[in-house]
A = this chain, B = another copy of it.
Amino acid sequence: MKRIAIQGIKGSFHDIAAHLYFENEELDMVYCDTFSELFQTMREESNTLGLMAIENTIAGSLLGNYELLRSSGTDIVGEHKLHIQHSIMCLPEDDWDTLTEANSHPVALMQCHNFLSHHPQLKIVETFDTAGSARNIKEKNLKGHAAICHSMAAEIYGLKVLEDHIEDNKHNFTRFLVLSNPLFADDLRDRNRANKSSLVFTLPHTEGSLSSVLSIFTFYKINLTKIQSLPIIGSEWNYLFYVDVTYQDPIRFHQSIEAVRPLTREMKVLGEYTAAK
């Protein structure tokens, strides 16, 4: 049985992603209030894994989670891509004509903005969690309240789904990373099937420093699938780069890292894993 820490509760998107990634395995879930608590749990329990959202096709990168990951010392051992779909649900005795309020996490509310604008009778009240809104409505028997979250939360908390697929954008995917204490990372990843890696490094603000690094990757047949620069707060002429690469030959990948390392500062390989479909 694997022990997995996530931010969120039963029925949250993190919970759903964890169960899809580890399908057919029994999981012992640790439900954390915050991402910081997730990493705190992983520090205290070396054999507990983590699963954390890192980017979304609409909202972009979760910069705060990148920063937590970089400073955590954990290793990425896998990734999962989840199609984000929202449903609106309420107590079984409620219906459209009795609802007065919609509850969800602010990001989910924004993702259903068009849908909500067609239901102006619903007061929009933010909560700290998507599935948490469903649980809260059930536990406190909140008549007139609707929750917006994944339809699976309706099953878990005994609510009635009024409408599925209420998200504005149907191409909404979130990418999650599976994290492990480095001690156990090699047992969890299939070294022979690793074909993707996430890197973070800083570069001096000298002309062409990034193009040199990328040229070397090209010479070693390493492909970029994502690149994002971030200014380092308080150090304006230096930049942090988050890069995802894919490759066919892990040996060539390791060689390329050693080849670019002298041109970078603080190069960290955040993990090697198998790319999600």
**Least CB distance, A256 to chain B, in whole angstroms:** 12
Interface size class of A (residues with CB under 8 A): 35 or more
Is A61 on the interface with B (CB-CB < 8 A)? yes
| Interchain CB contact under 8 A, B226 and A218 | no
| Interchain CB contact under 8 A, A61 and B64 | no
Give the number of copies in the complex. 2
Chain B residues whose CB sits within 8 angstroms of the CB of A224 once the complex forms? 210, 229
Bound complex: CA A181 to CA B108 (Å)? 34
Chain B residues whose CB sits within 8 angstroms of the CB of A228 once the complex forms? 227-229
Bound complex: CA A50 to CA B59 (Å)? 23
| Interchain CB contact under 8 A, A218 and B211 | yes
Say whether, besides A210-B214, A211-B215, A233 and B60 are in contact (CB < 8 Å).
no
A206: nearest residue on chain B (CB-CB)? B223
A interface residue numbers (CB < 8 A to B): 57-61, 63-64, 106-107, 109-110, 123-126, 171, 205, 207-208, 210-212, 214-215, 217-218, 221, 223-231, 233-234, 239
